[in-house]
């Protein structure tokens, strides 16, 4: 698989599409299937509950197979063009996942802003409902793979962000994807109303760009260069507003309105 190409493959864990920017990280040979980990017995009423600090999966636990070629029941999706492509670092620090390829047009905003800041993201379709085991493997292993922040977008019964948040110690930012029938209000409520203990930082409906910016700000806490970029970005926002103000004063509101159309 090449840079920015879609890979599709078939496995016992369902269908998943991975996209990595910009490094051509998809290998030629199919990745080994995920192991058949036996389902642990449910705790009896008297068995001790796992502590909140029970150990995470071992560092050597099998990773999900983001690089496995996937079957192509449907033709490969086009890769949406992304503006501003500086050469980012190769290690993905931000995971951008979504419940369906239909979420990609919305989630593109998060991918693009990460690219603009030169931060590599790992982009994947991970469905809470259609590939649940896969979601568990992906979420549990994310921090072991060097991911620092997860952005999860979903629409409708949008369980992906909350479920991933319950499975990873990483901060999770939820993006309510606009849905066909309820315009994303269902997505918003599904994502934002998390129970105490498992937070999901939820952005506005459809505002994946803000999710990307929030992820970058989280990373910037420990990266002075990135912090500088965030400050510069904020400065450019202010300058943009002031330029509009100057234009408004110069043209008057009627002419300004006309040039907006």
List residues binding ligand RP5 (CB under 6 A). 98-100, 102-103, 127, 129, 154-156, 177
From CA 71, how far away is CA 15, in angstroms rounded?
8
Cα 12 vs. chain centroid, distance in angstroms? 23
Q: Which is nearer to ligand RP5, 43 or 76 (CB)?
A: 76
In the complex with ligand RP5, which residue's Cβ is closer, 60 or 180?
180
> What is d(CA 127, CA 39) in angstroms, rounded to the nearest whole number?
20
Cα–Cα–Cα angle for 149, 151, 155, nearest 5°? 160
Least CB distance to ligand RP5 at residue 53 (A): 31
Nearer to ligand RP5 (CB atom), residue 200 or residue 216: 200
Contacts of 203 (CB under 8 A, 6+ apart): 173, 174, 175, 176, 210, 211, 214
> Which CB atom, from 17 or from 98, has the smaller least distance to ligand RP5?
98
CB of 128 to ligand RP5, least distance (A): 7
> How far is 82 from 150, CA to CA, in rounded Å?
20
Write down the least CB distance from residue 31 to ligand RP5, Å. Answer: 24
CB of 132 to ligand RP5, least distance (A): 11
CB half-sphere exposure, 186, CA atoms < 13 A: 12
Question: Tokens at residue 134, please?
Answer: 């896969």
CB of 62 to ligand RP5, least distance (A): 25
C-beta closer to ligand RP5: residue 65 or 190: 190
């Amino acid at each position: 698989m090449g840079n920015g190409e879609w890979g599709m493959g078939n496995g016992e864990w369902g269908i998943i599409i991975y996209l990595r920017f910009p490094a051509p990280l998809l290998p030629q040979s199919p990745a080994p299937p995920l192991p058949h980990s036996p389902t642990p017995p449910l705790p009896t009423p008297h068995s001790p509950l796992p502590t909140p600090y029970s150990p995470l999966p071992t560092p050597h636990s099998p990773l999900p197979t983001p690089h496995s070629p996937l079957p192509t029941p449907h033709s490969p999706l086009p890769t949406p063009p992304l503006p501003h492509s500086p050469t980012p670092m190769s290690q993905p620090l931000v995971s951008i996942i979504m419940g369906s390829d239909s979420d990609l047009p919305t989630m593109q905003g998060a991918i693009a802003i990460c690219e603009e800041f030169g931060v590599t993201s790992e982009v994947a379709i991970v469905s809470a409902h259609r590939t649940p085991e896969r979601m568990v493997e992906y979420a549990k292993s994310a921090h072991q793979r060097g991911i620092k922040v997860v952005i999860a977008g979903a629409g409708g019964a949008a369980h992906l962000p909350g479920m991933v948040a319950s499975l990873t110690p990483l901060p999770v930012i939820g993006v309510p994807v606009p849905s066909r029938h309820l315009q994303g209000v269902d997505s918003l409520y599904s994502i934002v109303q998390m129970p105490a203990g498992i937070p999901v930082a939820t952005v506005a409906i459809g505002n994946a760009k803000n999710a990307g910016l929030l992820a970058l700000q989280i990373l910037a806490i420990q990266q002075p260069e990135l912090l500088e970029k965030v400050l510069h970005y904020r400065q450019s926002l202010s300058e943009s507003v002031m330029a509009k103000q100057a234009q408004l004063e110069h043209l008057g509101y009627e002419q300004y309105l006309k040039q907006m159309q």
